[in-house]
Amino acid sequence: MYRTLLGCVLAGLLCAIGVAADTPLLPNQFGPWQAEAPAQTLRAQELGAGLAKWPNGERVLAEAGANKIEQRSYKNGADEITVRAFVLRDPSSAYELYTFLLAPGMKDLGLGTDSAGGERDARILVGNIVVQAEIPARVKAESLRELLTGLQAKADSSPLPPLKSYLPSSGLKFGSEKYALGAEGFRAAMGSLGQDASQALTDAIGFQNGAEAMLAEYRGELRSGVLVLLDYPTPQLAEQHLHHLEQALPAEMKRAGATVERKGSLLSVVFAASAKEAKAIRDDVNYETQVTWNERGQKATDPPIVVMMYKIFLFTGLFLGVATGVGIAFGGFRLIVKRMFPGKVFDRPQDIEVLQLGLSGKKIDPTDMY
């Protein structure tokens, strides 16, 4: 009976897990849009035009760690939308894929913090989910808002990498932002920005040591170039890879004036820019380091030092008074019990044993100890 019951419980759990695994990510309907058919689960090789037109698309997707790729078509009258959802292992990996799918010329769609698209397509980042949609020209991207709200409840809400906030906003060419967690993403990013990502340069970055890369193109009157930011877990690692990168920079990049600079645990390189333009871009990087020598200092809202010392002495005196009172009470109680019941509660000679070394002939009397 016990084995039968246990088998039923395990079978129920397996069925529940199977049902949860088969539950589609994309809904049957959102707003006026109705799904035409069940959702399709795709592999990277089956994406066709979705990633094949992007260099290194399959390798970047493998590096980002796609757990699931789901596609579904929706109709609203004569209009049709095809939605593809990539589920990545975490928001940082999803941000790598999202920036990989960006291209210059796209515009901000205003659907959340990170969304971009053209006349017939859209890319939206929702936690650890990247949504890619093919939209007819007469349909507004705003139609996807209800779908994104539903996906937000299923997505990982962990924060995005802080490296993205270090990019200067002045002169930034929208759609050129690229984030890389590994060598494939970095090579694809450099290629999309028209820069040579040689193998030596990629190896010198040290992605295996936890490095992250953020790239963007800048165009303006006083600034023009490609900014590469490399963030490391510690300043020591940044200093170590600084020398590696200086040696790995191709000769043509060095002749063009490209240099590697360090600020804390952040390295920066500006390609395709003059020394003046590179300095203008670097000066606007939103990264500051702070060194503290001790604990927090005195603030205006803190109480005066006299009040603090008064409270210290007051509570210390109260503690000593309580400890003294408890000690006297315990000693008085013991003394009263010994006077009223001598040798019956405390200090009973028949229950006391004293170890003797036998150095003298006199036997120790236990009562002499009290």
Domain ranges of the chain: 25-160, 162-289
**For 319, which DSSP code?**
H
Structure tokens, 41: 């689960």
Look at residue 18 and tell me whether its pLDDT is greater than 50.
no
- The residues, any chain, with a CB within 8 Å of residue 347's CB and separated by 6 or more, are 338, 367, 370
Write down the residue that tokens 């906003």 correspond to.
169
Measured between alpha carbons, how far is 83 from 76 in angstroms, rounded to an integer?
14
Residue 52 binned pLDDT confidence (cut-offs 50, 70, 90)? very low
- The residues, any chain, with a CB within 8 Å of residue 346's CB and separated by 6 or more, are 334, 337, 338
More confident residue, 131 or 10: 131
More confident residue, 67 or 211: 211
Stretch 355-367: mean pLDDT: 65
Measured between alpha carbons, how far is 38 from 53 in angstroms, rounded to an integer?
26
Per-residue pLDDT at 243:
92
| Phi, psi angle pair for 32, to nearest 5° | -85, 5
**For 298, which DSSP code?**
-
Stretch 130-159: mean pLDDT: 90
**Range among 7-11, 226-230, 293-297 with highest mean pLDDT value:** 226-230
Strand (E) or helix (H) holding 7: helix 2-22
Write down the residue that tokens 């093919």 correspond to.
134
Residue 119 binned pLDDT confidence (cut-offs 50, 70, 90)? confident
Task: Give the residue from 37, 32, 66 showing the smallest Cα distance to 145.
Answer: 32
pLDDT in tens, 296-311: 565 666 788 888 899 9
| Reported pTM | 0.70
Look at residue 205 and tell me whether its pLDDT is greater than 70.
yes
By the 8 A CB rule, do 128 and 93 touch? Answer: yes
Long-range contacts of 105-112 (CB under 8 A, 24+ apart): 105/175, 106/174, 106/175, 107/174, 108/174, 109/141, 111/141, 111/142, 111/144, 111/145, 111/148, 112/148
pLDDT in tens, 277-287: 999 999 999 88
Amino acid at 17: I
By the 8 A CB rule, do 213 and 179 touch? Answer: yes
**∠310-311-316 over CA atoms, to 5°?**
105
Per-residue pLDDT at 6:
52
Write down the residue that tokens 């929706």 correspond to.
74
By the 8 A CB rule, do 77 and 70 touch? Answer: no
pLDDT in tens, 308-352: 899 999 999 999 999 999 999 998 998 888 888 877 777 666 666
What does the mean pLDDT of the chain come to?
83
Stretch 39-43: mean pLDDT: 85
Percentage of the chain exceeding pLDDT 70: 81
Percentage of the chain exceeding pLDDT 90: 46
Residue 20 binned pLDDT confidence (cut-offs 50, 70, 90)? very low
Per-residue pLDDT at 120:
85
